[in-house]
Amino acid sequence: GENVEQHPSTLSVQEGDSAVIKCTYSDSASNYFPWYKQELGKGPQLIIDIRSNVGEKKDQRIAVTLNKTAKHFSLHITETQPEDSAVYFCAASPTGNQFYFGTGTSLTVIP
Amino acid sequence: DSGVTQTPKHLITATGQRVTLRCSPRSGDLSVYWYQQSLDQGLQFLIQYYNGEERAKGNILERFSAQQFPDLHSELNLSSLELGDSALYFCASSVDSRRDTEAFFGQGTRLTVV
């Protein structure tokens, strides 16, 4: 089955700086890569996603890049704010029957 | 608010007992997924239903079962509960079962087995 690895597990940045989270996947059949943000006590919230026919996607301060050849994708958050502090999960979907999640990155934005 | 509703939010029960977790998917979504989240295991896929039929099974224990009803809500039944079953249980839904379809998660049910 698919194996998704995520790094780093924890990340601290100063407010206003950028944050980058990286994921790799193993199954070349995966063609959909969502990112979720999970705040304490809440469910994962879909924040951005990318499909394999696209190399980059932006939504305001958030961007995701995908390199299908290397089987890796990354989340970029610019101009970080304290409310960006949360756990972020990447995921890959090879079949549509389930999502394979990374182990999460705990992001702390220091005011 | 994702539109996915899970009840109850919290559940405390004793070992050996049986509980039922309920999920109402977003309006129009036919596919429901159940995930377990524990500190040491991350988000683990349990089972998926699509329009009332089981589509995929993950690491779901034999003590656990699920179903999706004609009105598309789903229930996850956990029986003979053990301390190690304490976790957050999430339901997610999507429009269909294609591999590139967005899935939206509910707020979860926190199960504590004592």
* pLDDT computed for residue B101 by the predictor: 82
Cβ <8 Å between B43 and A101: yes
Residue B99 has pLDDT above 70, yes or no: no
**What is the phi/psi pair of residue A26, to 5°?**
-115, -25
Of the candidates B94, B105, B106, the one whose C-alpha atom is nearest the C-alpha of residue B27 is: B94
- Measured between alpha carbons, how far is A107 from B105 in angstroms, rounded to an integer? 20
State mean pLDDT over B27-52.
Answer: 91
* pLDDT computed for residue B97 by the predictor: 72
Which residue's entry shows tokens 């999640």?
A101
* pLDDT computed for residue A106 by the predictor: 96
Q: Which of residues 26-65 of A touch B (CB under 8 A)?
A: 29-32, 34, 36, 42-46, 49, 51
Q: Is A88 on the interface with B (CB under 8 A)?
A: no
* Predicted confidence (pLDDT) per residue in A32-82, tens digit: 999 999 998 899 999 999 988 889 999 999 999 999 999 999 999 999 999
- Measured between alpha carbons, how far is B34 from B12 in angstroms, rounded to an integer? 19
State mean pLDDT over B81-101.
Answer: 90
Residue A15 has pLDDT above 70, yes or no: yes
Q: Which positions in chain B touch A95 (Cβ < 8 Å)?
A: 56, 99
**What is the phi/psi pair of residue A72, to 5°?**
-140, 155
CB-CB contact of B21 with B75 (8 Å): yes
- Measured between alpha carbons, how far is B79 from B62 in angstroms, rounded to an integer? 9
Cβ <8 Å between B2 and A89: no
Band the pLDDT of B98: cuts 50, 70, 90. Answer: confident
Residue A107 has pLDDT above 80, yes or no: yes
Strand partners, A13: A109
CA distances in angstroms from B27 to A9, A55, A64, A81, B93, listed in the order given: 35, 31, 28, 33, 10
State mean pLDDT over B54-63.
Answer: 92
* pLDDT computed for residue B5 by the predictor: 97
Nearest to B100 among A36, A45, A51 (CB): A51
- Measured between alpha carbons, how far is A111 from A15 in angstroms, rounded to an integer? 5
Residue of A nearest to B89 (CA): A43
Residue A85 has pLDDT above 70, yes or no: yes
- Measured between alpha carbons, how far is B105 from B69 in angstroms, rounded to an integer? 19
Band the pLDDT of A9: cuts 50, 70, 90. Answer: very high
State mean pLDDT over B35-41.
Answer: 85
Greatest Cα pair distance in chain A: 41
- Measured between alpha carbons, how far is A31 from A96 in angstroms, rounded to an integer? 10
What's the gap between Cα A21 and its chain centre?
A: 6
Q: Which of residues 42-101 of B touch A (CB under 8 A)?
A: 42-43, 45, 48, 55-56, 58, 90, 92, 96-101
CB-CB contact of A96 with A85 (8 Å): no
Give me chain A's average pLDDT, please: 94
- Pairing assessment for the beta strands A100-101 and A4-7 based on DSSP bridges: unpaired
Task: Compute chain A's Rg from CA coordinates.
Answer: 13
Give me chain B's average pLDDT, please: 93
Q: Which positions in chain B touch A103 (Cβ < 8 Å)?
A: 42
Please, which residues have CB within 8 angstroms of residue A41's CB and are 6 or more apart in sequence? none
